[in-house]
């Protein structure tokens, strides 16, 4: 299970805590210092009333800190939301999301934070998950927006059009940010010279920019904030301008677990949705950051970096899982041959269930009548999908 660490166990003693903080989420933390083929049965989480809790009440949850999408999990833990909903949740910090995906598939953890393209790759048995992928379920986004294109401070690059002929780094092809860059490249085929996309290890992203190995990178937070405050970076463009309110990571579980433990999925979803809805309000953001700032995984991120990375509007937390967003990602992954051509629209959205976010919205006195499909504004075009 690699370098995964239990967040509670890691804070029982000073020595263990120090060891944990140097390993869990190590790639991003180091930067602050340096710088479903088988989809015949479309899984849908079965309803479960609170008085009829069906499922296990003890779960392990894998997240990757200090990413912005991991913050609601930590906030919900500190505030006792899991316990309030009848769960004993052990938050386990991982150095990468591929490891989270593998442990979800193997059943070593019950829930995990996965980037939406990674979720779909597992769900459709694509790429590296061709042999062991399984149907998946997601009930909410845990972060939206939260990405940017960063260049060196002395760079002559001023906007995305200036990236023509440049080397641009990304940490994973299975990230929304990588897909957005590829979308931009394909829409702008008249660029005077092609953009050279480089896959760069997370821990080397800021140093690579500083050395000049790459001219820019497109990354989620807090990497851009680290580069701007602790490194040699300057943000030129937020990814939300390429795709308005785009999702980043999703609360993920396997279809088999969701089918057998509907009460557990409901409890986990309500806990995280409450955290996300609180954090998403600009007036609550300072209190949200105050709460997570001293927690393992975020404690070594300088407060100015955390404040900038989680600034309202820059990185937000509205949890509704739009099926149309999955279509944007899934359809483009097919264009890039990252998903089999045989994967259908119905299969792409099969594991997305907004039931419990709607329940949380209603409980919060907010509009719970949001549609499964919205108009997606991507690269200046309105994309419309039908269920």
pLDDT given at position 15: 35
Would you call 220 helix, strand, or coil by DSSP?
strand
pLDDT given at position 33: 39
Candidates 3.40.640.10, 1.10.238.10, 3.40.605.10, 3.40.190.10; CATH matching 5-145+247-383: 3.40.190.10
> Is residue 4 scored above 60 in pLDDT?
yes
Examine residue 169 and say whether the peptide bond preceding it is cis (omega within 30 degrees of 0).
no
Q: Which ranges of 154-213 would DSSP assign to H, the alpha helix?
A: 176-187, 205-211
Q: Which region among 58-67, 85-94, 158-167, 248-257 has the lowest average model confidence (pLDDT)?
A: 158-167
> Is residue 142 scored above 70 in pLDDT?
yes
Q: In CATH terms, are 5-145+247-383 and 147-241 the same topology?
A: yes
pLDDT given at position 387: 78
Tens digit of each residue's pLDDT (9 = 90 or more) over 262-300: 999 999 999 999 999 999 999 999 999 999 999 999 999
* Average pLDDT rounded to a whole number, residues 73-87: 98
pLDDT given at position 19: 38
Give the CA dihedral 277, 71, 232, 166, nearest 10 degrees.
-70
> Is residue 201 scored above 80 in pLDDT?
yes
Cβ-based neighbours of 302, under 8 Å, separated by 6 or more: 32, 229, 230
Q: How confident is the model at residue 386 (pLDDT cuts 50, 70, 90)?
A: confident
175 contacts 4 by C-beta, under 8 angstroms: no
Tens digit of each residue's pLDDT (9 = 90 or more) over 330-361: 999 999 999 999 999 999 999 999 999 999 99
Please measure the distance between the N-terminal and C-terminal CA atoms of the chain and give it in whole angstroms.
Answer: 39
Q: How confident is the model at residue 38 (pLDDT cuts 50, 70, 90)?
A: very low
Strand partners, 316: 144
Which sequence spans correspond to the domains of the chain? 5-145+247-383, 147-241
Q: Which region among 41-50, 196-205, 282-291 has the lowest average model confidence (pLDDT)?
A: 41-50
* Average pLDDT rounded to a whole number, residues 134-160: 97
C-alpha count within 13 angstroms, C-beta hemisphere, residue 190: 0
Would you call 55 helix, strand, or coil by DSSP?
coil
Tens digit of each residue's pLDDT (9 = 90 or more) over 93-123: 999 999 999 999 999 999 999 999 999 999 9
% of the chain beyond a pLDDT of 70: 86
Cα separation, 85 vs 81, in Å, equals 6
H/E element, 122: helix 116-123
Q: How confident is the model at residue 310 (pLDDT cuts 50, 70, 90)?
A: very high
pLDDT given at position 231: 87
CATH number of 147-241: 3.40.190.10
Q: How far is CA 32 from the centre of its chain?
A: 20
């Amino acid at each position: 299970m690699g370098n995964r660490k239990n967040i509670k166990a890691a804070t029982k003693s000073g020595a263990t805590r120090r060891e944990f903080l140097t390993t869990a989420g190590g790639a991003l933390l180091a930067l602050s210092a340096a710088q479903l083929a088988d989809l015949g049965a479309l899984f849908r989480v079965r309803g479960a009333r609170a008085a009829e809790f069906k499922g296990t009440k003890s779960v392990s949850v894998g997240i990757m800190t200090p990413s912005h999408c991991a913050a609601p999990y930590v906030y919900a833990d500190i505030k006792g939301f899991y316990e309030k909903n009848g769960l004993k949740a052990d938050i386990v910090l991982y150095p990468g999301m591929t490891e989270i995906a593998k442990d979800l598939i193997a059943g070593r953890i019950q829930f995990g934070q996965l980037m939406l393209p990674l979720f779909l790759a597992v769900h459709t048995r694509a790429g590296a998950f061709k042999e062991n992928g399984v149907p998946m379920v997601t009930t909410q986004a845990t972060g939206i927006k939260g990405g940017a294109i960063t260049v060196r401070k002395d760079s002559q690059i001023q906007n995305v059009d200036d990236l023509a002929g440049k080397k641009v780094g990304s940490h994973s092809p299975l990230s929304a940010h990588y897909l957005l860059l590829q979308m931009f490249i394909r829409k702008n085929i008249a660029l005077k010279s092609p953009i050279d996309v480089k896959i760069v290890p997370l821990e080397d992203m800021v140093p690579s920019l500083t050395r000049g190995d790459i001219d820019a990178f497109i990354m989620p937070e807090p990497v851009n904030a680290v580069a701007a405050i602790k490194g040699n970076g300057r943000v030129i463009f937020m990814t939300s301008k390429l795709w308005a309110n785009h999702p980043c990571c999703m609360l993920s579980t396997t279809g088999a677990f969701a089918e057998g433990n509907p009460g557990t999925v409901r409890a986990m979803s309500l806990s995280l949705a409450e955290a996300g809805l609180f954090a998403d309000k600009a007036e609550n953001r300072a209190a949200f950051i105050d709460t997570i700032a001293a927690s393992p995984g975020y404690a070594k991120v300088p407060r100015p970096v955390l404040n900038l990375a989680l600034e309202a509007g820059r990185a937000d937390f509205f949890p509704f899982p739009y099926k149309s967003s999955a279509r944007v990602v899934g359809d483009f992954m097919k264009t890039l041959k990252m998903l089999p051509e045989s994967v259908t629209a119905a299969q792409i959205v099969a594991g997305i269930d907004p039931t419990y976010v709607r329940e949380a919205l209603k409980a919060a006195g907010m509009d719970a009548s949001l549609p499964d499909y919205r108009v997606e504004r991507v690269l200046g075009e309105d994309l419309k999908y039908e269920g």
